[in-house]
Amino acid sequence: MADEKKHLRINLTNEQKAQIQSATGKSAEAIELSVEELEQRIAPRTLTPPV
């Protein structure tokens, strides 16, 4: 069970569904992200060299 990753499902609004359809030509009801993927999208960690 330690290997099991937690996922978060975000249901899309009608407007968001339309935007995805327009941009990709595909339909989607929701997106699912692992906790790690969500953290990277919210607060990406970038390494900057010391000045």
Q: Where are the alpha helices (DSSP H) in 1-51?
A: 14-24, 35-42
Distance of CA 3 to CAs 6, 35, 39, 47, Å? 10, 13, 18, 27
Single pTM value for the model: 0.62
Per-residue pLDDT tens digits of the chain, which is 51 residues long: 455 679 999 999 999 999 999 999 999 999 999 999 988 888 877 777 776
Parse the chain into domains and list their residue ranges: 7-42
